[in-house]
Amino acid sequence: MSNFKYTAGLNHVGSYQVSGAPFLTSSVDATQAVKVEFPYVTSWVVIQNNAHANTEHLKVGFSQITFGSMIGITIVPKTDPQFYHR
Amino acid sequence: MSNFKYTAGLNNVGSFQVSGVPFASSSINASGSSAVKIEFPYVVNWFIVQNNSDTTDTKVAFSENGLNGSNYFTVWNRNTAAHADRSSIYDPLHLKITEIWMTGSNNMEIIAGLTNIPVERVNNIAPSGSNWSGSVGVG
């Protein structure tokens, strides 16, 4: 008997139409580059910068190369809307 | 005759495409020494958390462990940010949860759209048997 198990692929529309399983992480210290890994492919993410000083901008990318080459987005502490992306 | 009753599961797309059954709770005092737990009667499709305090931020999580650890997010008080509409009111968060845990402000509000999916559908797969608690990212 085959043990092959079908799972949804990256283009499985239904997986993105249902609400997501929760994932939260807080107090992330990103003063040095930090990687946050998810246990499954994300449907959407929100990132919030809680730094007190308005000069502590947070830079966000999806790879180290992106990060190093200054391609990405910047989140200003509290005064900017959170980054929300599907 | 069989009494088995079919109910929608967590991946039933239609349950998340229709508008939600309304759920609202206000004047929630989360300033006590113990965290406040809000339990929903069905699996949530989306929710919004609002902090009406002018002075106190609130931590929001999906389990007590997450709240006491590092699996929570902060809903700022109304005076924290220049964009008050963004600091205390979140866009609807589309997460299939059954509980919200909070500590901080004495004046919180929750609005949610519920599915018709029984909470047991989540609780039966959560490592601790309750609202994903014990899984990565929930605590």
User: How many whole angstroms separate alpha carbon A76 and alpha carbon A54?
Assistant: 7
Of A17, A28, A44, the CB nearest to B16: A17
The pLDDT of residue B4 is above 70: yes
Domain ranges across chain A: 1-86
Give the residue, A65 or B70, on which the prediction is more confident. B70
List, for residues A4-23, the tens digit of each pLDDT value. 888 899 889 999 999 999 99
Answer whether A15 sits within 8 Å of B11, measured CB to CB. yes
Of A14, A27, A39, the CB nearest to B13: A14
Answer whether A19 sits within 8 Å of B46, measured CB to CB. yes
Answer whether B70 sits within 8 Å of A81, measured CB to CB. no
Percentage of chain A lying above the pLDDT 70 cut: 79
pTM of the model: 0.85
ipTM field: 0.80
Query: Which residues of chain A lie closer than 8 angstroms to B82, CB-CB?
Result: 78-79
Q: Which residues contact B53 (CB under 8 A, 6 or more apart)?
A: B77, B78, B104, B105, B106, B107
Residue type, B73: F
Tokens coding B14:
């239609």
Give the residue, B2 or A65, on which the prediction is more confident. B2
Chains A–B, number of C-beta pairs less than 8 Å apart: 84
Go through A13-47 and write b for each residue having 16 or more CB atoms within 10 A of its CB, e for each that does not: eebbebbbbbbbbbeeeeeeeeeeeeeeeeeeeee
Query: Best residue in B44, B58, B60, B73 to probe A by mutation, most A CBs within 10 Å?
Result: B73
User: Residues A49, A50, A51, A52: is their CA dihedral positive or negative?
Assistant: positive
Q: Which residues contact A26 (CB under 8 A, 6 or more apart)?
A: B59, B70, B71, B72, B73, B74
CA distance, residue A27 to nearest chain B CA (Å): 6
Answer whether A20 sits within 8 Å of B76, measured CB to CB. no
Answer whether B82 sits within 8 Å of A46, measured CB to CB. no
User: How many whole angstroms separate alpha carbon B91 and alpha carbon B101?
Assistant: 18
Q: Reduce the DSSP state of residue B80 to 3 states and report it.
A: coil
The pLDDT of residue A54 is above 80: no
**φ, ψ at B99 (rounded to 5°):** -145, 155
